[in-house]
Amino acid sequence: MHLGKGIALAIALVVLGSHAALSEINRASFPKGFVFGTASAAFQYEGAVKEDGRGPSIWDTFSHSTGLIIDGSNADVAVDQYHRYVGDVQLMKDMGMDAYRFSIAWSRIFPNGTGEINQAGVDYYNNLINALLAKGIEPYVTLYHWDLPQALEDKYTGWLDPQIIEDFAIYAETCFDKFGDRVKHWITFNEPHNFAIQGYYSGFEAPGRCSSILCQAGNSTTEPYIVAHNVLLSHATVADVYRKKYKDKQNGSIGITLDVKWYEPETNATENIEAAQRAQDFQLGWFLDPLIFGDYPSSMRSRVGSRLPNFTESESALLKGSLDFVGINHYTTYYARQNKANSNFDLLNDCVADADAYTLPIKDGNPIGDRANSMWLYIVPRGMRSVMQYIKKKYGNPLVIITENGMDDPNDQFIPIEEALKDEKRIKYHTDYLTNLLAAIEEDGCNVKGYFAWSLLDNWEWNFGYTSRFGLYFVDYNDNLKRYPKDSVAWFKNFLAST
């Protein structure tokens, strides 16, 4: 008996715990033209931080500061993709990937953030783009993946100053001019929510600003909101430039990538349902509401008050609709409840306390799902479908691309490489999340057109250094950074071979 695609999918979802049943999904299960790829970031991959005229970034400075990276490492070499991109492109080709999402290091193009263009940097990205296209792999390019040129941080504190809007626009337009004849998919920012919080509230990430004694400077009550405001206006300005000067002749598209945890109410009590919504407002809504509706969520306006910057009418008009697609990085799901202890936090007036929502991946002592290596990453596949449903309902079903999804294993020195390559847990992760994504498309009508696995290679994972392995390929840090395919590579190759 031949089952319709929808019925077969429904059965697969019922037996979500059965790996055998789920393994039947493949490329052919997804709509025609759906794009599969892997994702990376310049600072986590390239290395070669002092070669060919590249200037330092805030992450170079941060990672060389004592005690900020868990294993004391830095990304001076990372996984050396700067010198090994030809081989890495072949790895993608061998798997059957359609696309590669990578970021351009601003300080390779403008070592001082502004001023004279560094031709060697332009040449490198031209070579990478051409190598991808020669293998039939479409480049998806992120303009900013956290690595602000240190010169701009020194000059005017970077994202805290409106001057950044003009400087980012010049950098972005330079990239459109140099690469846009071949790059048809642009992403202005990767996870602005993340770097606004971690860089300016907690100080855990570059440039390491916060109000506590852990930081040398900063104001956790105001700076995350100022940074986010300038990022949003930078995106809107750049999108406007692209649409007016480049889109028609280059036939491309422009979007932004936002990090999204799904938040489930801890109970169905009204106060917890409302807390989950506020948690989402202060995460996804903080950025997507202005880009779709022209202003911040009302819950942010009422709770943050004068600390939340205002958009002028012209800025609101520029923001509204300033994207062709929404990139979503989704990994995990947490519970949310009203913060009963909020009275203790009122004096903080910061962007976490403002949400009046307590979020945690544990309820009554039980985790929401199996945990990956990262302490924040719990495996909850249903969250993928819930996020897609939410975006469709609230934002009018915009075009979505899953720009990151994946999980990590520990970098355990005592596990032989042949054992580390057996990543059944990762295979199940991608299978289960893709099954839920497919349900969102087929059953719920969500407008999703692509999926990028994080990541092609094990890499330098920000604060966690080399302790965390997200790659489909194992990188041997003890033997010339050799790449070895994990079992998930064979799984993806088989998944993508079906048409």
* Catalytic residue ranges: 191, 404
Cα distance between residue 18 and residue 472, in whole Å: 22
Query: Looking up tokens 């945990």, which residue turns up?
Result: 371
Q: Evaluate whether 210 touches 340 at the Cβ level (below 8 Å).
A: no
CA angle at residue 97 from 333 to 139, to 5 degrees? Answer: 90
- If you ran DSSP here, which 8-state letter would residue 3 be given? P
Cα distance between residue 314 and residue 321, in whole Å: 13
In DSSP notation, 342-402 reads GGGTTTT--TTGGGTEEEESEETTEESSEE-SSTT-EE-THHHHHHHHHHHHHHT---EEE
How is residue 34 written in tokens? 């759906």
- Residue 209's φ and ψ, nearest 5 degrees, are -105, 140
Query: Looking up tokens 């202003």, which residue turns up?
Result: 295
206 Cα distance to chain centroid:
16
Report the SS3 class of residue 328: strand
Q: Evaluate whether 479 touches 383 at the Cβ level (below 8 Å).
A: no
